[in-house]
Amino acid sequence: MSLLASLPVGFVAILHVYIFILEMFLWTSPRGLKAFGMKQDYAIKTQALAANQGLYNGFLAVGLAWGLMHPVPEFGTQIQHFFLGCVAVAGVYGAATAKAKILFIQTLPACIAIAAVLFA
């Protein structure tokens, strides 16, 4: 796969590692509170739910990394399409149910990466 396609896929993977860290470990920290626009008391009450969300974001990142590193390029491309599709759908759902900006933070980069992989 070309570097031009691998870069956006890698970016989406790194983005989801960051989200994983925010939701799993920094949810109640000043950085987590600011990133998700929450107050401390709400963050404390929802910490277990956030950790669950974070775990799923970690799985997405690992899946994308797996697709990038798979020794069979054709299968690696299929893996990338699957996980990028999951990211895009999750972003649309998050934008519809939580905050509209999720569409630009999560879905748009995933769609750009899908296009890059398709045209590589």
Going from N- to C-terminal start, the domains of the chain cover: 3-118
| Average pLDDT, integer, range 99-104 | 95
The pLDDT value recorded for residue 100 is 95
Say how far apart CA 7 and CA 80 lie, in whole Å.
12
Using DSSP, state whether 42 is helix, strand or coil: helix
Closest CA to 1 of 67, 50, 52, 85: 67
pTM: 0.94
Say how far apart CA 111 and CA 77 lie, in whole Å.
14
φ/ψ of 100, rounded to 5, equals -60, -30
From the number of C-beta atoms within 10 Å of its C-beta (0-12, 13-18, 19+), residue 12 rates as: buried
Residues 6+ apart with CB under 8 A from 110: 12, 84, 85, 87, 88, 91
CB atoms under 10 Å from CB of 21, counted, come to 16
Please report which helix (H) or strand (E) contains residue 7, including its range: helix 3-25
Say how far apart CA 21 and CA 15 lie, in whole Å.
10
- Is residue 1 very low, low, confident or very high in pLDDT (cuts 50, 70, 90)? low
The pLDDT value recorded for residue 72 is 96
